[in-house]
Amino acid sequence: MKILIIGGGGREHALAWKIAQSPKVTELFCAPGNPGTAQVATNLDIPADDIDRLLAFALEQSIDLTVVGPEQPLVLGLADRFQEKGLKVFGPSAKAAQLEGSKAFSKELMQKYNIPTAAYAAFDDPDAARAYLKGKGPQVVKADGLAAGKGVFVCANEAEALDAIGQIMNDKIFGESGSRIIIEERLEGQEVSLLAFTDGITVLPMEAAQDHKAVFDGDTGPNTGGMGAYSPAPVFTPELKQEVIQRIMVPAVNGMRADGIPYQGVLYAGLMITPNGPKTLEFNARFGDPETQPLMMRMQSDIVPIMEACADGTLDTCSLEWKPDTAVCVVMAAEGYPGSYEKGRPIHGLDPANSLPGVTVFHAGTKQAGEDIVTSGGRVLGVTALGDTVQKAIEKAYQAVEKIQWQGAQYRKDIGQKAL
Ligand code: AMP
Ligand code: GLY
């Protein structure tokens, strides 16, 4: 099989690393990829959102399966355009990707199908949004559209919520993504990510993972795309998992189908485990980053037949095996991230870190510059280790992290502690 992966971050390196191990694969391409994907695939100099060129390449090469990493090409209709030409895609249509692309859409689906989530209201008018806040407890203000994971303000009080409305709707810091907002009750608890494969009918859940969104230790500082992740998540008991599958994942997939928008690909549920049970914070239409890095390290089964079955509608014939080990991924980021940061700093120690047993260094924001690999993004590397206990996985991941240096590298020192 010839497979094309779309994207160029840490998630895509982890997907490429896993897909390359499949005996079914004869050729693997990644557009645009990064120096990590270049170790296992042929990188293409085509941006992830240039659907015309991606489609031309896939047709010319007779690609058997295209796997879409990021949300943007899905929301832009990559799957629809490829399928019109008879090409097989792992990932939802543009309409189905609204589950991530529009928070109002996903909240309406949850309300319609009784999927547990925070109480909310949607607004097009900032004054109406401000009026709604009166007398409410702590709220969360979210831009409706895509905002690269940064469109959510978790507010402690009304003043903060008013400020968030002003930034999103009046100052338009997320552009048109903020023409509409969602205001919802602030939930308390531990967060868990549950990802499932689906062909639109069958739901095949993966193991749970836990992300670390805040930039600093102890979950302090501003939210990022994710500073580290681990799997499994001990807080997520088998009973909780069953409850989430029955009350959240299956109703979402069935609801989409009933509404005439069948959903195929990965369904990612961001969950808050509250004292009143699990509630849905958001749905994403893709694999999580960095959750994918530990998940791919733990997945025992060949992922390629499962992705094909999602595209073919035959997922009922598939099952998934996992390594019992824990995987821990520590994200190493550029100085200043999630604010502005410098690029082009040479990275040292990649090979010694990567050659430690049970360790894989997944590249995210890196670039080849002559002989050097240099930083080229905010989240630079996902240093991931497997261990037969949580403690050992944490120790191994940090041993590897300590072998890697560049000027200004920052990382959290407490990834995985919640699992102990
Ligand atoms: P979202 O993109 O909707 O998942 O929001 C990003 C992050 O904001 C989540 O991972 C949570 O940490 C936080 N968040 C979102 N909604 C809520 C909520 N209703 N209550 C508390 N925290 C939230
Ligand atoms: N790690 C969070 C996300 O991928 O949305």
The residue whose CA is least distant from atom 8 of ligand 1 is 152
Counting residues of the chain whose pLDDT is more than 90, the rounded percentage is: 94
Q: Is the CB of 118 under 6 A from ligand 1?
A: yes
Q: Is the CB of 71 under 6 A from ligand 1?
A: no
Lowest-confidence region among 171-175, 206-210, 351-355? 171-175
Instruction: pLDDT band for 305, please (50, 70, 90 cuts).
Output: very high
In this structure, is the dihedral angle defined by the CA atoms of residues 265, 282, 207 and 358, taken in order, positive or negative? positive
Instruction: pLDDT band for 230, please (50, 70, 90 cuts).
Output: very high
CA distance 43 to 34: 7
150 pLDDT higher than 80: no
pLDDT number for residue 144:
87
Residue 34 φ then ψ, to 5°: -155, 180
107 pLDDT higher than 90: yes
Q: Which ligand is nearest to the CA of 209?
A: 2
CA of 186, closest atom in ligand 1 = 20
The residue whose CA is least distant from atom 11 of ligand 1 is 281
Instruction: pLDDT band for 227, please (50, 70, 90 cuts).
Output: very high
Q: Is the CB of 181 under 6 A from ligand 1?
A: no
pLDDT in tens, 15-43: 999 999 999 999 999 999 999 999 999 99
CA distance 45 to 165: 39
What's the residue count for the chain? Answer: 420
pLDDT in tens, 258-304: 999 999 999 999 999 999 999 999 999 999 999 999 999 999 999 99
Instruction: Yes or no: say if 121 and 136 are a contact pair by the CB < 8 Å rule.
Output: no
53 pLDDT higher than 90: yes
Q: What angle do CA 164, 166, 168 make, to 5 degrees?
A: 70
Ligand 2 geometric centre to CA of 384 (Å)? 16
CA distance 133 to 127: 10
pLDDT number for residue 235:
92
To which H or E segment does residue 112 belong?
Answer: helix 103-112
pLDDT number for residue 302:
98
308 pLDDT higher than 80: yes
Domains along the chain with CATH numbers = 2-94 (3.40.50.20), 125-179 (3.30.1490.20), 190-317 (3.30.470.20), 326-419 (3.90.600.10)
Instruction: pLDDT band for 137, please (50, 70, 90 cuts).
Output: confident
380 pLDDT higher than 80: yes
CA of 211, closest atom in ligand 2 = 1
Residue 118's nearest CA partner among 285, 278, 284 is 278
Instruction: Yes or no: say if 116 and 280 are a contact pair by the CB < 8 Å rule.
Output: yes
* Most ligand 2 atoms within 8 A of CB, residue of 146, 291, 292, 329 to mutate: 291
The residue whose CA is least distant from atom 16 of ligand 1 is 281
Instruction: pLDDT band for 103, please (50, 70, 90 cuts).
Output: confident
pLDDT number for residue 147:
79
CA distance 158 to 171: 18
149 pLDDT higher than 80: no
